[in-house]
Homo-oligomer: A and B are copies of this chain.
Amino acid sequence: MISLKNRVYIRDLFEHGIVGNEYVIAGWVDTVRVHGKLVFIVVRDRSGRIQVVAKKNLSEEAWRTAKTLTPESVIAVRGVLVESKAALGGREIQAREIEVYSKAEPLPIDIHDHAKTVLAKRLDWRFLDLRNPRNQTIFLVEAEMAKAAREWFISNSFVEIFTSKIVGAATEGGAEVFSIVYFDKPAFLAQSPQLYKQMGVIAGFERVYEIGPAFRAEPHHTTRHLTEYTSVDLEMGFIDSYEDVMDAVENVVRSMVEHGISAYRERVEEYFPNAIHSLPKKIPRITIREAYRLLQSAGVHVEWGEDLSSEAERKLGEIVEKEYGSPIVFVTEYPWNARPFYTMKKPEEPDWTLSFDLLFRGLEIATGGQREHRYDVLRRQIEEKGLNPRNFEWYLNMFRYGAPPHGGAGIGLERVVMQALGLGNIREARLLPRDPERLTP
């Protein structure tokens, strides 16, 4: 039995390993080749790969074990680090002992070339698909982006909250909500922590954030929708205007993209030549009316006073890239009829709102704005949207006992990853994607 107590990561052997010393490594068999009295195994752990050579005359037992190995079997190796001109990286391990933890059967998909397998089948075999370093990189970047967002929030006095995902009423309205069988009561899965993060501000935390799941019963089959995604949510009180919220979103998203990519620069450059490594110092901000005009000038049909279609967003991304030299743009002042009841209207022009979307390479990655904090106005807006104020009683109550001016935004983590790396399908950026057809693994 090989003890894993002193196991070293393979990458460290190349960087700090001492030739002639004995080491323990462990990982997956990347490839295995038998040449008579020699067996060459490439072992892969999450840090890298190294060649292991098992020689009959060095350790007959290790050599016998090596001969029976199959690709993707899991092993530990105790052996001596030596220089080797033939081996990748110039070093290899001469095996003294090999322990097999798990022997792999022939694989159902090609894990070395992800392009050989259609995405649906890759997702069916996700645990194998992720052994491909390209695919693994996506999730390393994603984890790094979440970390960067949190670090920004913490250093800007935001308090992390954990809100309930089981809710008694659909927060964002509409049909796109999943129902739960909750004992004998009707209940739903939260479409966003919207009302709760506002509660966090009003309760006195002033600035709150949450990175957690959000659920949308969208029946769409597109390359950019999921029924469950990770939402990076923030809400901040005592703002002067929704520009303050955009400043925060701009800083969070820049931090996510730049830290996320730079932490794995080499791997990103190798596997995602199309990736965006940095964002402009100042993200352009255009009103939706300017957006209509830009689109109309480019011959795209848009309805004045309506939301932008995803096709219009894509096209706008191209125009902004050309006109402003930026892959990312804030579109502001969306029409009142396209925003939810809690959005603050523009005081002088109440058909428009103090709201924004952030488009990255032509795809909405964030949405936000200032919230209406005046009880009477908020109540009127609920009625204006054809909703019943009675169904929002606890929410409305929050504005009767002292609510500061506030605003916030929700950022779709997988969409940021997708657009930063230039992926073709959001399912690639979700460990276990869910859509109307897919519930497994």
A→B interface (CB under 8 Å): 3-5, 7, 26, 28-29, 44-46, 72-74, 76, 101-105, 107, 124, 126-131, 136, 139-140, 142-143, 146-147, 150, 154, 159-168, 178-183, 185, 187, 189, 196, 199-200, 202-206, 212-213, 215, 217, 219, 227-228, 230, 238-240, 373-375, 394-395, 398-405, 413, 430-434, 436, 439-441
Assess whether A202 is in contact with B127, with CB atoms less than 8 Å apart: yes
> Would you call A128 and B167 a contact (CB within 8 A)?
no
State A402–B212 Cα separation when bound (angstroms).
Answer: 31
Q: How far is the CB of A8 from chain B (nearest CB, A)?
A: 11
Could you list 25 A-B pairs, sorted by A, with CB under 8 Å? A5-B240, A45-B206, A46-B205, A46-B206, A101-B403, A101-B405, A102-B375, A104-B400, A107-B401, A127-B199, A127-B398, A127-B401, A140-B159, A147-B150, A150-B150, A162-B213, A164-B228, A164-B434, A165-B228, A166-B227, A166-B439, A180-B180, A181-B181, A183-B436, A213-B213
Further 19 A-B residue pairs, CB within 8 A, beyond A5-B240, A102-B373, A130-B204: A28-B204, A29-B402, A102-B402, A105-B400, A127-B202, A136-B204, A143-B159, A150-B150, A164-B431, A164-B434, A165-B165, A165-B213, A166-B228, A183-B217, A183-B219, A185-B439, A187-B439, A200-B431, A212-B212
Which among B104, B128, B205, B240 is the interface contact of A136 at CB below 8 angstroms? B205
- Please state if A402 and B72 are interface contacts (CB–CB under 8 Å): yes
Q: Contact between B26 and A404 (Cβ–Cβ < 8 Å)? A: yes
**In-complex Cβ contact of A394 among B73, B404, B433, B441 (8 A):** B441
**Are B162 and A154 in contact, with the CB atoms below 8 A?**
no
Query: What number of copies of this chain does the assembly contain?
Result: 2
Chain B nearest CB: distance from A323 CB in Å? 30
Closest to A161 in B: B431
Query: Given A139-B159, A139-B161, A373-B101, are A74 and B439 neighbors across the interface (CB < 8 Å)?
Result: no
Chain B's closest residue to A432 (CB) is B164
* CB of A49 to closest CB in B, whole Å: 12
A422 CB to closest chain B CB (Å) equals 21
> Given A131-B204, A147-B154, are A401 and B185 neighbors across the interface (CB < 8 Å)?
no
Determine how close the nearest CB of chain B comes to the CB of A206; give it in whole angstroms: 5
A72 to B181, CA, bound (A): 38
Q: Which residues of B contact A205 (CB under 8 A)?
A: 46, 130, 136, 139
Set of chain B residues within 8 Å of A4, measured between Cβ atoms? 238-240
